[in-house]
Amino acid sequence: MAVTIKDVAALAGVSPSTVSRTCKNNPSISEETKDRVRRAMAQLGYEPNFQASNLASQNSRTIGIVLPTSVRDAYENPFYLEAIRGISQYCNHRQYMNTVITGKDEDEVLSAMRTMTRSGQVDGFIVLYSKQQDPVIDYLYGEGLLYVLIGKAYQYANQTIYIDNDNLLAGQEATEYLYQLGHRKIAYLGSDSSLMFSADRKSGYQTALLKHNLPVRPDYCVEIPSIPKGRDAIIHLLLQSDDRPTAILVSDDILAVALERSCMEMGLSIPKDLSIISFNNSLFARLTYPQLTSIDINSCQLGIEAASQMINHIENPNLLATKIIVPHYLVERDSCQPIL
């Protein structure tokens, strides 16, 4: 089996990005660390990939921002815009540039990232999402490239710098809020559970139900892979149930807007017939009628923290991988009411 940059890093007791920088004799690495890495390379017989290590040697002062693959949805989600605003704000302050990388599928995104890596156009990547079994993360980790994740790491968690909310706690607190309003038939509407934030919010919802000895009903747990552009049969099926929920926790404001639309089509009044609480506290939460009660996850701050950690690790390559939790808070509006 071929020796990899990860094997060298493990033997030398450094990060893969430090090995990558050592391969190109980057001045930001101390001579002591370089010697330790080179001894490990010699011991293992490692032949460096100079194209990959070129990323760390160019001092380009540019950060790549990786959006999730999408033909449309990602570009319309205010969360990503707010996170990019935070990244840009911090980068401007530190005189770093940033560039957005996206594509209709993972092959297109990876192709763009490889091109930028080989030409030394960026110092590292901020990935704006986290999901299970992501080939983008596999590529970044496998090549020893510096990256920061917004969201909880699924792969290589101990070696990954990530910025996140406590989405499990937020899901619990949102469900608890509905419980304290007297709701006992509480449903969950979320996006694909392969996305880490959605999986954690769902787990928090289920934990809160179990805390109060409420059943976790499969028919009350609805997940859809993308925002519906018209009538959604799954949402309508939930709302047409003979034992219809009195409240729904929704994983994202945009999905909550789709839920409100379905309620309007079916003649259900919010919050009289159905209370709704969602996440992100985006512009959508304030423009809907009634306005949505929503968990604000501080999207802009997530971006600021991601950029801060990225630049810290660019300029101090021997730092250990950092995990930062950004706090959330509840914004009460008009989409929830007590059970009468």
Residue 105 is part of which domain span?
58-165+301-328
- Which residues are within 8 A (CB) of 87 and not within 5 positions of it... i.e. 6 or more apart? 63, 65, 98, 126, 303, 304, 306, 307
Distance CA(337)–CA(340), nearest Å, equals 9
Query: Which residue is associated with the tokens 């209370």?
Result: 275
Once rounded to an integer, what is the mean pLDDT over residues 3-14? 84
Q: Would you place residue 28 in the very low, low, confident or very high pLDDT band (cuts 50, 70, 90)?
A: low
Lowest mean pLDDT among 52-56, 241-245, 262-266, 270-274: 52-56
The pLDDT assigned to 57 comes to: 46
161 and 202 co-located in one domain: no
Q: Each residue of 157-195: pLDDT tens digit?
A: 888 999 999 999 999 999 999 999 999 999 999 987 788
* CATH code of the domain covering residue 196: 3.40.50.2300
**CA dihedral of 313, 317, 320, 323, whole degrees rounded to 10:** 10
Residue 93 inside a domain? The answer is yes
Looking at the fold, whether 259 and 148 belong to one and the same domain comes out as no
- Percent of the chain's residues with pLDDT above 90: 58
Does 59 have pLDDT greater than 80?
no
pLDDT band at 55 (very low <50, low <70, confident <90, very high): very low
Residue 139 placed within a domain: yes
Written as six digits, the tokens of 116 are 């930028």
The pLDDT score that the predictor gives to residue 24 is 66
Please tell me the predicted confidence (pLDDT) of residue 54: 47
Residue 89: pLDDT above 70?
A: yes
The answer to whether residue 340 sits within a structural domain is no
Residues 256 and 275 in one domain: yes
